[in-house]
Structure 1
Amino acid sequence: MRMRKKRRRSNHTDPTTRHRSTDTPAKIDRNVVLLGWVSYFTDMASAMVNPILPIFVVAALHEGVDKLGIIVAVATFVSYALRLVSGYISDRFGIVKPLVVGGYALSAISKPMIGMTHGYKSVASLKALERLGKALRSAPKDVMIAEYSHKNASGKTFGFHKTLDIAGELSGTLLLFGFLLCFGVSEGVMRTIFLATIVPGLIGFVLVAFFVKDVKKRPEREGVKFRLTKRDKNAVKQLFFYFLFIFFMFSEAFFTMQAKNVGIAVMLIPLLFVVSTGMQTLTSYLLGVWVDRIGAARVLWLGYLCGVTAQLLLWFEKSWLTWLAYAFLGLFTVATLNANRAFIAASSDNRGSVYGVFYGGVALFGALGAYVCGMLWEHFGMQSALLFSLGGTLALWLFFSLTIMGGRYGYA
């Protein structure tokens, strides 16, 4: 009862908790649709790389799981930490589209080059370059999506964009499976697949460079000293719980290695990603609408529960449970991202900077978590690494349930 009253009192300030049953549904802006297709082709290329990259590093390049952890940590840190810089630039100087275009260009050229690597250091360097592209474009791209969102519909808009984003991953994963099914699993085939990612990468680059409209520069920022507002700082403070959860959460690369360890054939591993991305594609828009209607906190609660469930299923080391774990991993990913991105859009003034802080926090905590899990796995075994992740995320979910969902600390 107290939760319901609290939400009614805040309806005039927080669109993420507003019920829209009486609103007329708004069409998605053309630029958001185009950005969705840009993400579709870019993520298609990424999905042709990510499912087999851990296998390539460990089996083809003969590197240890600890080296895989280093690659994941470096890529994660570069991907997210530098988003803080691009977010600041977009707010301080009004530079948005050039950062987005440059980011997609870097990603398009770096993925194919992985096919020419011969050691974990070169893989880490190219993944860092590819993630640098992600870092440059992500916060400014979210600014563009937020700017082109209709009033009180940021959750729906981000949900729509994420649907095309994940559909691209699904398509790329199916293409990858088709290649492996037709040509087999070998080092040469994997290298050829990496090189082939140049095609969807360039399509995405052309779309964003020539067809997406830049947002208008806000004249009030010119000549004014930039600083985060009270609303910005409050939004950042409330994101720290998600950062902690990401620190403990098993990364996608370790999900892949667990699947290989329980006997799932390398050729079938792309289908695990189909399960994850398919679940995200089916639920992204709906979860975005839920953010607008019931609030970010409740959708986050569901997402965290799915993350805990995914890792719990891995614990039993049964191949059929691993397939189910990937479905819950997909729900965790899409629910938490949609909720947090919509929350920032509704609760901050300098959106680019807050998106940058958000991704920067994910970078730091995600990189540290990947490094710790990789070391635990290499020196103490998979179960020790999984116990670390499962115990941490379960404790955080229980804390979230008792405090934030209990109304003692209002997330949104």
Structure 2
Amino acid sequence: MKYLTRTVWILSIISLLTDIASEMLYPIMPIYLKSIGFSVLLIGILEGVAEATAGLSKGYFGKLSDHAGRRAPFVRLGYTFSALSKPMMALTVYPLWIFLARTVDRAGKGIRTGARDAMLSDEATPATKGRVFGFHRSMDTLGAVIGPALALLYLCFYPAEYRVLFLLAFFPGVLAITCSFLLKDKIRPKTANGTQVSFFSFLHYWKSSPVVYRQLVAGLLIFTLCNSSDVFLLLKMKQEGLSDTATIGVYIFYNMVYAIASFPLGVLADQIGLKKIFVAGLLLFAIVYAGMTVAHDWYWYGLLFFLYGLYAAATEGISKAWISNITSKNDTATAIGTYAAFQSVCTMLASSLTGLIWFKFGAGSALLTTTVIAVMVVIYILITIPEPESM
């Protein structure tokens, strides 16, 4: 496995540690916020602001990384921000401080994403992009299995001690920061000496990007508009009477499948084509959402979330590998950052639209609408976008 270079391993371990820290807090974040006086509306505003911060900063810092010809400093700073945000949440309960802490966390994700993915792309050839991104995704998602499990174990012994959990989550974050100092930049030229990068300068990339990039990203963004938060799937299970423990257990099972399947599916994608695996993933997504409208028992939900884990493994890392294969090496961070910025905005809209349809017409209508749009995107990709070159 020569393609799993030192840099790929370091980045993957950093992502594992960071996701352990973040996912330790994921199950208890809404509970904690409500316990300190946040209303549901205020929680929604908080998460919206945080997601917008992450989305827009991904585009800007991706462009800035390409402009500067540097990757490691952005990766290091981004993970540092995310680590520091964890204990910040526990210091005080003032709403403005909580907003600042969440914004720091999401800004950290925005700073590192484009540069990190470009660094992964630099370590691979077009023929090994799927397995490199797949391996990184496997390690990252493994943290989403370990983190919630640790949080549940802690809360079994110390129920409602949420603030201490935020402090404990700081330690894997510190390990991630330490590992980030092992990263070394490859020597690369700056893209434009003496010019400034404005916050929205990444938007100009859309006009100058390859046609196939715009075609692919357009399809991905349409899909994102129907791909709402996983909270809606968890809510559907709760409506059907599953206990809190069973619901969280299914979510951990989903992340386990996601983590285990990402690397082998990345290898398979390199062998038979990124497009084939990606389309298969979207079809699994459509099957899951259609199945959620008729499932009522825990074992059916277990099967559907098994398929949902395969969908995630077949699309998340594969989409970044695909984008990096159809864009210039000097623009990789900008290309991925621009897509991630648009994706974050569409994700916010998706949850709002799904919530509106759910409220007006019921869960079945919301889930079936998502299914139909996903199938339409599959048809669009099959007809419009050629298979990326693998050699």
Please state which band the TM-score falls in when normalised by the shorter chain.
Answer: 0.7 to 0.9
Alignment match of 2:373 (pick from 396, 399, 407): 396
> Which residue of the partner structure matches residue 206 of structure 1?
178
What does residue range 178-327 of structure 1 map to in structure 2 within 5 Å? 178-184=153-159, 188-208=160-180, 210-218=181-189, 222=193, 228=205, 232-316=210-294, 318=296, 320=298, 321-327=300-306
> Which residue of the partner structure matches residue 337 of structure 2?
356
Deviation at 1:325, TM superposition (A): 3.7
Cα distance change on mapping 1:258 and 1:141 into 2, 3 Å: same
> Which residue of the partner structure matches residue 314 of structure 2?
335
Deviation at 1:45, TM superposition (A): 0.7
Distance across 2 between alignment mates of 1:326 and 1:283: 13
Once the two structures are superposed, residues 332-385 of structure 1 have per-residue CA deviations (whole angstroms, 9 ceiling, x without a partner) of: 3222112211111211011111011110111110011223334555x548x34x
Distance across 2 between alignment mates of 1:369 and 1:121: 26
Q: Is the 8 A contact 1:87 1:139 kept in 2?
A: yes
Deviation at 1:167, TM superposition (A): 1.3
SS, match of residue 95 in structure 1: coil
SS, match of residue 183 in structure 2: coil
Percent identity over the alignment is: 23
Moved more, 133-142 or 260-269: 260-269
Q: Is residue 155 of structure 1 aligned with residue 130 of structure 2?
A: yes
Q: Which residue identity lines up with residue 212 of structure 1 in the other structure?
A: L
Once the two structures are superposed, residues 276-305 of structure 1 have per-residue CA deviations (whole angstroms, 9 ceiling, x without a partner) of: 210111110111112212222222212212
> Which residue of the partner structure matches residue 22 of structure 2?
46
Distance across 2 between alignment mates of 1:136 and 1:408: 32
Deviation at 1:327, TM superposition (A): 2.8
Cα distance change on mapping 1:370 and 1:181 into 2, 3 Å: same
CA RMSD of aligned residues (A): 2.9
> Which residue of the partner structure matches residue 131 of structure 1?
106
Q: Is the 8 A contact 2:282 2:378 kept in 1?
A: no
Q: Is residue 89 of structure 1 aligned with residue 64 of structure 2?
A: yes
Q: Is the 8 A contact 2:288 2:304 kept in 1?
A: yes
Deviation at 1:239, TM superposition (A): 1.1
Deviation at 1:112, TM superposition (A): 3.0
Distance across 2 between alignment mates of 1:249 and 1:353: 23
> Which residue of the partner structure matches residue 369 of structure 1?
350
Q: Which residue identity lines up with residue 153 of structure 2 in the other structure?
A: G
Cα distance change on mapping 1:183 and 1:331 into 2, 3 Å: same
Q: Which runs of 5+ in 1 are unaligned?
A: 1-24
Q: Is the 8 A contact 2:56 2:341 kept in 1?
A: yes
Q: How many residue pairs align between the two structures?
A: 378
TM-score, normalisation: structure 2: 0.86
SS, match of residue 212 in structure 1: coil
Once the two structures are superposed, residues 5-32 of structure 1 have per-residue CA deviations (whole angstroms, 9 ceiling, x without a partner) of: xxxxxxxxxxxxxxxxxxxx63411011
Q: Which runs of 5+ in 2 are unaligned?
A: 198-203
Distance across 1 between alignment mates of 2:48 and 2:368: 19
Distance across 2 between alignment mates of 1:356 and 1:247: 18
Deviation at 1:222, TM superposition (A): 4.6
Q: Is residue 98 of structure 1 aligned with residue 73 of structure 2?
A: yes
Distance across 2 between alignment mates of 1:261 and 1:60: 26
Q: Is the 8 A contact 1:139 1:355 kept in 2?
A: yes
Q: Is the 8 A contact 1:49 1:193 kept in 2?
A: yes
Deviation at 1:314, TM superposition (A): 3.3
Distance across 1 between alignment mates of 2:232 and 2:34: 12
Cα distance change on mapping 1:132 and 1:30 into 2, 3 Å: same
Q: Is the 8 A contact 2:286 2:372 kept in 1?
A: no
TM-score, normalisation: structure 1: 0.82
Q: Is the 8 A contact 2:289 2:371 kept in 1?
A: no
> Which residue of the partner structure matches residue 152 of structure 2?
177
